[in-house]
Amino acid sequence: MYYFIEPMVEEDITQVQEIERASFPTPWSPNTYRRELRNPTASRYIVARASTTPPPPRNRFAPAPQRRSGLLGMLLPHLFGDNGVVNAYPLVGYGGLWLTIEEAHITTIAVAPEYRGQGVGELLLTGLIDQALDMQATMLTLEVRVSNVVAQSLYLKYGFQPVGKRPRYYTDNGEDALIMSTQSIRTPEYQQQLSELRRNLFARLRSQAEGRGSPTDGRGRGAEHNHFTFNW
């Protein structure tokens, strides 16, 4: 299976909410998403799509698409068919962030249950980091359930560190939220780390798409394959 990132559009909201209802106890309203999408200077939302084969080449005479994530450029440089339609590819995940001055806050990431554990969540995270860089943010923050140690381990991998807690933040069960934040994402050191993480993720996704499992596991099924078994 091949995965790629696209900007979320209003036509995606129904599919996004289906994934959201399968992932979170308190979904947003359609109008909330519409407001977010109509304010791209302060918020950015992306979706992940799946394809059993690489999508067909984009018509060279078609209008240029919007800027896409750096990882997407490596994975699938030609996403659109001759008619410019991408919705033939199922939407399998989404994510979003807000910009406050120079700080980008990740608001949500979720992956459809049947596509979890395949690196889609990590792909979305790298896409959101690209969006933050595009919006000239210097750092990223987020909240994550204190019990969600798997998600926390991925965030740690991408330079997020615990900086505090929000008591009883989650209304469904009163669980605390762990606040995590990066240092500057614009330093050469972070950019080098991000490039290496992209290469590793690209190798993993390419290996999965070619049916070879993860390159990190000589048994043919990646040792990390079950690492991403959370709601995004």
| Catalytically active residues, by annotation | 143, 155
Query: Which phi and psi (to 5°) does residue 87 adopt?
Result: -70, -10
CA atoms of 229 and 116, how far apart (whole Å)? 6
Both structure tokens of 87: 């919705």
Q: Is-contact 72 86, C-beta < 8 A?
A: no
What DSSP string runs through 27-77? PPPHHHHHHHHT-TTTEEEEEEEEESSPPPPPPTTSPPPPP--HHHHHH-S
| Strand partners for 111 | 93
Which residues neighbour 94 within 8 Å (Cβ) at sequence distance 6 or greater?
8, 12, 16, 19, 20, 45, 46, 47, 48, 108, 109, 110, 124
**DSSP reduced 3-state for 49:** strand
